[in-house]
């Protein structure tokens, strides 16, 4: 008994479609081809004017300079509500703020509000490729910093932020709703994390470490 491969069947269907036939309409996806995940030719969701992390200054990877930040969002239960998180890669200092959603304009405004008082010592900020960072140019221009994007599916390129979000999740678990969380709740967690001694900082807290380093640079730190 002779068998026909599935590839040969598809070749016949594609040839029929090219000849204006209708066999393709009986396929499950009606002839629509799958997009490969991470395909370079897939332009869906590409953030306009994004600058890849490969163009970020090498000094950022060395983690010896204050002011190289990472930014992300933590989403509440049923995708309702979000918390903006921004952390300094060296000191582990974190800023947090409640967001009404993942709206790019609202996120950009909140990030600018948080970072503007610290613009004099901030250099770069790195995000993932979420659409909530579509207004990245607004953040970069108003703070006067360079904004970079990690490569898709490379969460380790923002490892400090991933670790910070893990600490925050101890207070706001994935199963919890953010709708009832207040700004005071978020500021309480921010204060707890920034005043927790860290082994990597010589058992100083992020607040103490950052204040000490900036004082040596003769730069004021505004809490």
- Full residue range of the structural domain in which residue 155 is found: 53-183+192-216
Asked whether residue 142 is assigned to any structural domain, the reply reads yes
Asked whether residue 59 is assigned to any structural domain, the reply reads yes
- Cα(119)–Cα(168) distance, rounded to whole angstroms? 25
CATH of the domain at 167: 3.30.420.10
What is this structure's pTM? 0.77
Asked whether residue 131 is assigned to any structural domain, the reply reads yes
Asked whether residue 75 is assigned to any structural domain, the reply reads yes
Asked whether residue 2 is assigned to any structural domain, the reply reads no
CB of 148 within 8 A of CB of 51? yes
Asked whether residue 37 is assigned to any structural domain, the reply reads no
**Tokens standing for residue 23:** 């066999």
Asked whether residue 25 is assigned to any structural domain, the reply reads no
pLDDT tens digit string along 5-47? 656 676 777 688 878 788 777 775 555 554 444 444 444 457 9
pLDDT tens digit string along 93-135? 999 999 977 789 999 999 999 999 999 999 999 999 999 999 9
pLDDT tens digit string along 202-214? 999 999 999 999 9
Asked whether residue 27 is assigned to any structural domain, the reply reads no
29 torsion bin: left (phi>0), alpha (psi -120 to 50), beta (else): alpha
Residue among 105, 163, 157, 154 at smallest CA distance from 133: 105
Domain count for the chain:
1
Those residues whose C-beta lies under 8 Å from the C-beta of residue 180, and which sit 6 or more positions away, are: none
């Amino acid at each position: 008994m002779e068998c026909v491969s599935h590839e040969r069947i598809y070749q016949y269907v594609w040839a029929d479609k090219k000849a204006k036939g209708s066999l393709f309409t009986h396929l499950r996806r009606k002839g629509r081809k799958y997009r490969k995940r991470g395909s370079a030719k897939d332009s869906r969701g590409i953030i306009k004017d994004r600058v890849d992390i490969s163009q970020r200054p090498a000094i950022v990877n060395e983690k010896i300079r204050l002011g190289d930040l990472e930014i992300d969002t933590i989403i509440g239960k049923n995708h309702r509500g979000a918390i903006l998180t921004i952390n300094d890669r060296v000191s582990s200092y974190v800023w947090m703020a409640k967001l009404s959603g993942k709206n790019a304009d609202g996120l950009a405004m909140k990030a600018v509000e948080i970072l503007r008082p610290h613009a004099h010592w901030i250099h770069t900020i790195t995000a993932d490729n979420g659409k909530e960072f579509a207004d990245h140019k607004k953040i970069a221009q108003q703070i006067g910093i360079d904004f970079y994007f990690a490569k898709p599916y490379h969460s380790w390129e923002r490892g400090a932020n991933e670790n910070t979000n893990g600490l925050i999740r101890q207070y706001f678990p994935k199963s919890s709703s953010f709708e009832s969380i207040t700004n005071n709740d978020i500021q309480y967690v921010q204060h707890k994390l920034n005043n927790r001694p860290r082994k990597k900082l010589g058992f100083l807290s992020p607040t103490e470490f950052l204040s000490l380093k900036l004082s040596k640079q003769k730069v004021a730190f505004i809490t």
